Structures are given as structure tokens and as C-alpha cells.
Amino acid sequence: MAILEANHIEKHFGSTKVLKDVSLSLEEGNALAIIGSSGSGKTTLLRCLNFLEIPNAGTISVKGETLFDASLSAKEWEKDIRKKRLHFGMVFQSFNLFPQYTALENVTLAEKLLAEEKPDFKKNKKEIFHAIEEHGKELLRQMGLESRMGHYPHQLSGGQQQRVAIARALALQPDILCFDEPTSALDPELTGEVLKVIRGLADRKTTMIIVTHEMAFARDVADRIIFMDDGVIVEQGDARQVIDNPVEERTKQFLARYTQG
């Protein structure tokens, strides 16, 4: 069953049409990789799917619930928009950690803020915050950062910061984990650290969308691949088929350029 359905998504910035009638689906427990040249629309698509950008047209559904419908008024679809965003966990290419907070504080911040809105918060604050901190510690242990929990972002390597960002994205237990070029700011050694973590998530059947320029990684980790060019999906299918035996000429040209360059 598809956990995510996006149909006829369009996004315009002024007179520029960045996304043109894009439709896709994602099965629960699968990893979807989106590849394409810079400017192809892949990051904009990801940002539209998790409502960091608002599409000009189309519909987006998660678990059968329509979260966005461009035919509705802004007042109608913006209702509970923050709650809708919680379906998605986002990992940015530049980490986006809060510099004034430790690794553990970065991971637990959102969960604590949401907890403060619960009716029983004041009565059970100590127990609630203790449970949140234990959850955050466990996530950081899973990222191999047990000894770094009290460190601030400037005390961490790029790879460590990105692993903190992944733990933070997992903290609210989103339905879909989204990665926007998660290794583009890292050198090759640190890239390997982060890709290893993402491979582990794939092995645990975490539902993911990964915008990436790492073709070998996409081939081996993703269940499906989408190749985008000029705001449209040119080709999609089984990950190894798209990388090893693409059908569309534009896909072949892109992969040839990537291999050569």
C-alpha cells in the first residue's frame, strides 16, 4: 500500500515553472531516490512534498489522508499545517543544527516543545522530559554518538553533525524520512559515515525519500529511482534498472555525464 501519493504537483516561482505536473507514489518501508542535474526540480519536489514549499497545483496524501489539495482555499488546507508536517522528518544538506544547543538538546528540542502543549504536561513534566531525553540518547547511540551527546555543533565533524540531524529527524517518529543531498557538504571519508547510517535505516525498512548525487549509493539502497529533468519526471522504476539500463535518452545522457565527470 502506498504511504505517500502525490498527483499533478506544480510549483512556480514567478513566471518560472520549476515543477510541471509531477506525480509519484511511495510504498511503506521503501526508499525512493530522486536524481537529476542541478536545477532539475528534485529539491523543490522534496520541499513541496513535506510542505516546506507550497505547490501551486496538485494533491498530496499520506496514509490515505489528503493533506494538501490546491483546489481548496489556503484557509482550508492550512488547517493543522504543523501537524501535517509531522508526517515528515527532514535532513538538510547543511545540517541546520542550532549552534547554541548540544547534540542531545538538538535531538530533543522539538519533542519537548510539543510535549509542553499536552494537557498533563505541568503535572508530569519531570517524567515526560526524562522519557524524551532517554529517547534522544538512544537515537544518538544508534548514530554512534554516545560520547558526543554533550558536545555543541562546532565541536563535531560534519559527519557527526549530519548524524545528529538524522537522529533529530527520527525523534518525532515521522512516517517518511526525507534527505536533501545529505552528503553534499561532506568530504569522502565523512560521506561514508553518513551513507552507512542511511543504509542501516534502509535495512530496517524505514520509509525514505532521498535526493542524492551519489549514483552508486542510490542504486544499492533505493527500491525505486526517479530521474528528473527540467521539472518533470523523465524516468522512474526499479533502482538498478534505472541506473544500469535506463530507457530514456535523457537519463542515459545524464548518467553518462555523471560517469565521465
pLDDT tens column, 12-51: 999 999 999 999 999 999 999 999 999 999 999 999 999 9
Cell numbers 568530504 correspond to 187
- 234-252 residue pLDDT tens: 999 999 999 999 999 999 9
Q: Are 2 and 25 in contact (CB under 8 A)?
A: yes
pLDDT at 138: 97
Mean pLDDT of the chain: 93
Q: Is 41 helix (H, G, I), strand (E, B) or coil?
A: coil
Q: Please, what's the b/e burial string for 29-66 (b: 16 or more CB within 10 A of its CB; e: otherwise)? A: ebbbbbbbbeebbbbbbbbbbbbbbebebbbbbbeeee
| pLDDT of residue 103 exceeding 80 | yes
Average pLDDT over residues 225-229: 97
**Contacts of residue 129, Cβ cutoff 8 Å, sequence gap at least 6:** 112, 115
Dihedral sign from CA coordinates of 158, 54, 84, 117: positive
pTM recorded for the entire structure: 0.93
